[in-house]
A and B are shown apart, each in its own frame.
Chain A
Amino acid sequence: MAARKSTWEKITWTWQPASEREAGDSIVRNFLLHWFPAKVARESLSWGYSFWLGTVSAVLFLILTITGGVLMFLYVPSVERAYLSVKDLEFTVSFGWFLRGLHRIGAHLMVAFVFVHMVRVFLTGAYKNGTATQQNRPLNWVIGVVLLLATLLLSFTGYLLPWDQLAYWAITVGTNIASAAPVVGEAMRFILLGGNTIEQGTLIRFYVLHCFFLPLLVLALFSYHMWRVRKDGGLACVDKQALDQKREKVVPSKSKTYSLLGIASGASVHVETSLVDEVQHTVPSSPTLTRRLALVTMVTLALSSVLTLLFHAPLEAAANPAVTPNPAKAPWYFLWLQELVTITTFTVGGYTINGALIGGIIIPGLLVAAAIAWPYFDKSSVRSVGVWFAPERRKQNLIFLLVVAGILLFTIIGTYLRGPYWNWYWPWQSWPVMPRKF
């Protein structure tokens, strides 16, 4: 019966489908849902498997895009006015402090959640292909690594914009690390700064990187990342489920194919319609997946808003090239790098190698290279795909966790045990009061 629908029902029916057919239709018709399959495995919706960390990261990126867009109306990327316009945001613009705070907390959370998402994917072996055809999870892992780097770069370029002391000294240290790179280093610093000294050219370059190029990169890669998840047959835990299902000797549902391509990509004329038994293990994406997505979005927004109220965004003194704050500390997620560049200066013979090269370029470079190459050297079996702490991957997971622990340890040292002049202080020792200026 074709019941007459009110306008409201016409707009909302795809979100509240009345039948299986409407549910499938909603995915096809709704632009926002086109990444999703019509049906999704119940297993992949579980809270305990993925913790929805990727989704949270994506929601944070959305929050950052929206707050960032508003901030662009209010911020002036000029050396004379940048600091004052951020001060205005803090003290004169209505709710400016909240906008800036939410943008900042969102950035911190995004770095944390993207990183933890990566840890989750590694520990569940989800960067490996399962048994389905046309999968390329290693490539999606590589895209993920680039997205993590882009997130870090977005943060770095972002905290330079207020042009306060943190900004100025971060840019000094950051671009000096870049210049420590062999051969291209000096030229790279010159291009980044737009000259030899940190001035207007530098600010506008980082501003454009922060507001245009890096978000564009993240948006493009994120879209591809999501599309690949769909092409790879969903989360890796579904591959695990499919394997278990085969063990149970459940007859997979089959459909006939008449196309040459269908025969070529499948094993026989009969091609399985999906990885898992649809009737038993799947539910319509709309409304099951969409409802959870809405919930995760709301919780993420609520969490970041509450954190914004609790932790006020700091603003240091205006940039002053003459005086470096003491101690001069990077934001928490770069403190492990600060510790690395501090402790990695070596003298070989009469020649001293700057810590910037070893701790700032070689070690992080090797870590990124290892992360990118790892899926291609991983020889563990398909049984360990989508399984938390698979026994077969114990050694790999241990190595990965040791690197993560090292990063965390350095971060903790940088946060709590380093005082003025980057000297070591135990928590029970108090820092000496330093003269602010010579």
Chain B
Amino acid sequence: MKSKQSWLNARISNLRAKTETEQQRLERLKQEVLGEGEAASRPTRRSFLTRLGFGATLLALAGQAYAFLRSLKPNVLYEAPQRFKVGTPDQFGEGGKFLEDKRLFVFRQGKTFYAISASCTHLGCTVKMEKLNQPKKVKTRQREFEEQYEFHCPCHGSKYYGDGTNYAGPAPRPLDYFKLELAAEDGQLIVDMEQKVGQDFRLTV
């Protein structure tokens, strides 16, 4: 008799479950499992612990992801210094000298010195210094001068006048000028590639 009763009970609850619509079932499941829904706006212990668990997992994953990504950004760089000595002024003859490993032109005009970057301002290829067969009269920056050479870039065809002003091709701005100093201790020229200066910069020795 007892077993028949329990069988009936089970059957009834089974039927009741079947008459539930999907929506109701979802709602009931939400309440049971997550403690969500209209009836359970107050968090139960179960829902609180579930959220805590998921939250902690997400936080742990985020922490791991941050650690992985952060490690890709170097904290120490073993790169060559950007401020360096290039020799005494008397080692430079009149005109331009290309320092290969620094990608740098150092120019001397009598007693004045200036340094121009050989890195094209478009996308960073090394420009070449082209000696002109005959000097060309050029007007840039509201002044006229006679130039003996130009800078041309092999990658995308940018062209610069002798003073570094861009005049053709995709280069967006003139070649960079870097600051020159004289070292107090041994009188060598110091180039500081971190300090850009204007095109009129000249170091008089």
Report if A and B associate in a common complex.
yes
Measuring CB to CB, which residues of chain A are less than 8 angstroms from any residue of chain B? 169, 172-173, 176-177, 190-191, 194-197, 199, 201, 321-328, 338, 341-345, 352-356, 420-423, 438
Interfacial residues of chain B within 58-84, with CB under 8 A of chain A in the complex: 72-74, 77, 79-80
Query: Which one of B101, B128, B159, B172 contacts A345 once the chains associate, using CB atoms below 8 Å?
Result: B172
Known contacts A197-B79, A324-B154, A354-B170; decide if A172 and B125 are in contact (CB<8 Å). Answer: yes
Specify the main secondary structure of chain B where it touches its partner.
loop
Residues on A with C-beta less than 8 A from B28 are: none
Restricting to B179-194, which residues have a CB under 8 Å from any CB of A?
none
* Beta-carbon contact of B98 and A438 below 8 Å: yes
A341 is contacted by which of B73, B77, B129, B156 (Cβ under 8 Å)? B156
- B135 / chain A contacts, CB cutoff of 8 Å: none
Interface residue? B139 (CB, 8 A): no
The reply to whether B155 and A328 form a contact with Cβ atoms under 8 Å apart is yes
B77 touches A196 (CB 8 A): yes
- Please tell me if the beta carbons of B103 and A342 are within 8 angstroms of each other in the complex: no
B95 vs chain A, min Cβ distance (A): 12
A190 to B170, CA, bound (A): 24
The reply to whether the CB of B153 lies closer than 8 angstroms to some CB of chain A is: yes
Residues of A within 8 A of B74 (CB): 194-195, 201
- Chain B residues with CB below 8 A from A324, complex form: 125-128, 153-155
- With contacts A422-B156, A422-B157 taken as known, whether A169 is within 8 angstroms of B170 at the C-beta atoms is no
Q: Are B103 and A322 in contact (CB under 8 A)?
A: yes
Task: Give chain A nearest CB distance to B75 CB in angstroms.
Answer: 11
- Residue B123, interface by CB 8 Å: yes
**Docked CA distance A169–B103 (Å):** 14
CA distance A423 to B128 in the complex (A): 14
Minimal beta-carbon separation of A431 from chain B (angstroms) = 12
CB of B175 within 8 Å of the partner chain: no
User: A105 vs B74: C-alpha distance in the bound complex, in angstroms?
Assistant: 35
Residue contact B170 to A420, C-beta cutoff 8 Å? no
With a 10 A CB-CB cut-off, give which of A201, A338, A353, A438 has the most chain B CB atoms.
Answer: A438
Nearest neighbor of A187 in chain B, beta-carbon distance: B73
A191 B155 Cβ-Cβ under 8 A: no
Interface residues of B, Cβ cutoff 8 Å to A: 72-74, 77, 79-80, 98, 100-101, 103, 118, 122-129, 152-157, 159, 169-173
User: B81 to chain A: closest CB distance in Å?
Assistant: 11
Tell me, rounded to whole Å, the shortest Cβ–Cβ distance linking A170 to chain B.
Answer: 10
- Chain B min CB distance to A109 (Å): 27
Q: Please name 7 further chain A to chain B contacts, defined as beta carbons within 8 Å, in addition to the given A338-B155, A341-B122, sorted by A numbering.
A: A169-B125, A194-B72, A197-B79, A324-B155, A345-B171, A355-B170, A422-B169
Residue ID in chain B nearest A357 by CB atoms: B172
Query: Which chain B positions have C-beta within 8 A of A326?
Result: 128, 154
Bound-state Cα–Cα, A201 to B173, Å? 29
What residues of B have a CB within 8 angstroms of the CB of A343 in the complex? 170
| Chain B residue at minimal CB-CB distance from A435 | B128
Residue among B154, B157, B170, B171 making CB contact with A325, cutoff 8 Å: B154
Given contacts A195-B74, A201-B74, A321-B103, contact A421 B124 (CB under 8 A): no
Say yes or no: A169 contacts B73, CB within 8 Å.
no
Q: Which residue of A lies closest to B126 (CB)?
A: A324
Contacts of B129 in A (CB 8 A): 438
A197 to B193, CA, bound (A): 13
Chain A residue nearest to B172 (CB atoms) is: A352
**Which chain A residue shows the least CB distance to B159?**
A421
CA distance A352 to B121 in the complex (A): 12
Taken together as a complex, chains A and B put the C-alpha atoms of A150 and B125 apart, in Å, by: 26
Q: List 5 A-B contacts (CB under 8 A).
A: A194-B72, A324-B126, A342-B156, A353-B172, A421-B157
Of the residues B122, B126, B159, contact of A323 by C-beta under 8 Å: B126
Q: Which 9 A-B pairs have the closest CB atoms?
A: A422-B157, A322-B100, A326-B154, A345-B170, A352-B172, A355-B170, A342-B156, A324-B125, A176-B123
Closest CB in chain B relative to A257 CB, distance in Å: 20
| A residues less than 8 Å from B173 (CB atoms) | 352
Contact B157 A354 (CB under 8 A): no
A422 touching B124 in the complex, CB below 8 Å, given contacts A197-B80, A345-B172, A352-B173: no
Q: Write out the residue numbers on chain A whose beta carbons fall within 8 Å of the beta carbon of B159.
A: 421
Known: A342-B170, A353-B172. A420 touches B123 (CB 8 A): no
A322 x B101 contact (CB < 8 A): yes
Task: Evaluate contact between B157 and A173: CB separation under 8 angstroms.
Answer: no
Q: Which residues of B contact A191 (CB under 8 A)?
A: 72-73
B96 → chain A, closest Cβ, in Å? Answer: 9
Task: Considering the complex, give the chain A residue whose CB is closest to the CB of B131.
Answer: A438
Q: Can you name the residue of chain A whose Cβ is closest to the Cβ of B120?
A: A324
Contact of B172 among A177, A328, A354, A438 (CB under 8 A): A354
A196 to B81, CA, bound (A): 11
Within the complex, the shortest CB–CB distance from A296 to chain B, in Å, comes to 39
Query: Chain B nearest CB: distance from A171 CB in Å?
Result: 10
Q: In the assembly, what is the distance between CA of A355 and CA of B118, in Å?
A: 19
- Evaluate contact between A422 and B155: CB separation under 8 angstroms: yes
User: Given the complex, which residues of A lie within 8 Å of B100, measured CB to CB?
Assistant: 322-323
List, in ascending order, chain B residues with CB within 8 A of A177's CB. Answer: 123
Q: Does the CB pair B79–A422 fall under 8 Å?
A: no
- CB of B165, distance to nearest CB on chain A (Å): 12
Query: Which residues of A are found within 8 Å of B125, using beta-carbon distances?
Result: 169, 172-173, 324, 328
